[in-house]
């Protein structure tokens, strides 16, 4: 534990040399969504490689940059590109940026991802507010945690995704005239897509969408007392829902086609947060 404390201090020191902004809100973005920060003010962009101990994604298209700036007078820090368990990182490495975000000052976190739709009512291109999750990653970032005086390892996950932030997201979607779904996100290890049998199982136990990220970060955020909002972009229908192969290139195409809607929603949510008491 002492080691990670020292690592976080070094990461913070490096970031503070480039920006003194104290963020209230954190964003973890998937590939191609970095333009969310284009309209931010007082912006600083820091490559991950310039931050000690920050994990660098190997996924093509990830910009691997930390962005600090202000939007609607809310100071925000953005993780533009995330790391995944399937890349070979440990869950401790994946969640390290969340611990850094907390030390920087955030108390709210928006986590986004792309996901496969399981719910038969979902369509490709839908946005889904995550109401809960199922962890099938066979890993938990709190495994081995021993420093109970700093934070408990036995954390409550009843409200892992903050209900007030969910209501703000619904209101933001309505004002932007964006259709929004709600549902449960199942996290799998990846990188192979799920089999039809696995999707059938996930559907039976209540999952509405499936992906390969998010859950580790949400667990650590809850341990640290950070309020979380999760949003999935449904880029494809999961295996067996449609009788055709899942093509990663098609997933990327859907992300590109719908990112304007996604960005509009995130901007609206930040505006709503600026005027809300949470």
The CATH number linked to 89 is 3.40.50.1580
pLDDT at residue 237 in the model: 81
Least Cα distance to 209 among 234, 180, 231 occurs for 234
What tens-digit pLDDT sequence spans the chain (278 residues)? 558 889 999 999 999 999 999 999 999 987 666 778 788 889 999 999 999 999 998 877 678 999 999 998 899 999 998 999 999 999 999 999 999 999 999 999 999 998 999 999 999 899 999 999 999 998 999 998 877 666 778 999 999 999 999 999 999 999 999 999 999 999 999 999 999 999 999 999 999 999 999 999 999 999 999 999 999 999 888 766 666 676 667 667 777 777 889 889 999 999 998 877 77
CA dist 16 → 21, 29, 81, 129 (Å): 8, 22, 20, 33
- 5 domain residue, yes or no: no
pLDDT at residue 244 in the model: 66
- 12 domain residue, yes or no: no
- 71 domain residue, yes or no: yes
- 88 domain residue, yes or no: yes
Q: Structural domain of residue 235, as residue ranges?
A: 21-239+246-274
- Per DSSP, 239 falls in state B
pLDDT at residue 29 in the model: 86
pLDDT at residue 60 in the model: 73
- 6 domain residue, yes or no: no
Contact 199, 239 (CB under 8 A): yes
Give the distance between the most distant pair of CA atoms in the chain: 53
Q: How far apart are the first and last CA of the chain?
A: 31
SS3 state of residue 148: coil
Number of domains into which the chain is organized: 1
- 16 domain residue, yes or no: no
- Per DSSP, 62 falls in state -
Contacts of 19 (CB under 8 A, 6+ apart): 44, 46, 68
Contact 85, 94 (CB under 8 A): yes
Q: Which two tokens stand for residue 95?
A: 């969640």
Q: What is the 3-state composition of the chain as percent helix, strand, coil, each rounded to the nearest 5?
A: 35, 25, 40
Q: Give the Cα separation of 129 and 45 in Å (integer).
A: 28
Contact 234, 129 (CB under 8 A): no
Contacts of 73 (CB under 8 A, 6+ apart): 274
pLDDT at residue 21 in the model: 95
- 80 domain residue, yes or no: yes
- 14 domain residue, yes or no: no
């Amino acid at each position: 534990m002492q080691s990670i404390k020292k690592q976080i201090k070094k990461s913070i020191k490096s970031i503070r040399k480039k920006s003194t902004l104290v963020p209230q809100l954190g964003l973890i973005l998937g590939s191609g969504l970095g333009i969310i920060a284009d309209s931010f003010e007082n912006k600083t962009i820091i490559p991950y490689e310039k931050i000690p101990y920050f994990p660098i994604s190997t996924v093509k298209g990830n910009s691997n940059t930390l962005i600090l700036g202000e939007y609607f007078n809310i100071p925000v820090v953005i993780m533009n590109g995330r790391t995944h368990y399937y890349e070979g990182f440990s869950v401790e490495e994946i969640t390290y940026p969340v611990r850094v975000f907390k030390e920087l000052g955030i108390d709210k976190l928006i986590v986004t991802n792309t996901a496969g739709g399981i719910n038969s009512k979902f369509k490709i291109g839908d946005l889904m507010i995550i109401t809960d999750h199922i962890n099938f990653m066979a890993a938990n970032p709190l495994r081995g945690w021993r420093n109970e005086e700093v934070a408990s390892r036995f954390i409550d996950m009843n409200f892992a995704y903050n209900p007030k932030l969910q209501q703000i997201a619904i209101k933001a979607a309505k004002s932007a005239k964006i259709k929004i779904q709600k549902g449960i996100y199942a996290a799998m290890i990846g990188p192979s897509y799920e089999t039809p049998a696995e999707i059938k199982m996930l559907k039976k136990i209540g999952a509405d969408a499936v992906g390969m990220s998010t859950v580790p970060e949400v667990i650590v955020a809850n341990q640290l007392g950070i309020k979380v909002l999760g949003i999935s972009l449904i880029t494809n229908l999961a295996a067996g829902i449609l009788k055709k192969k899942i093509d990663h290139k098609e997933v990327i195409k859907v992300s590109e086609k719908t990112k304007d809607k996604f960005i509009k929603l995130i901007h609206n949510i930040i505006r709503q947060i600026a005027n809300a008491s949470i």
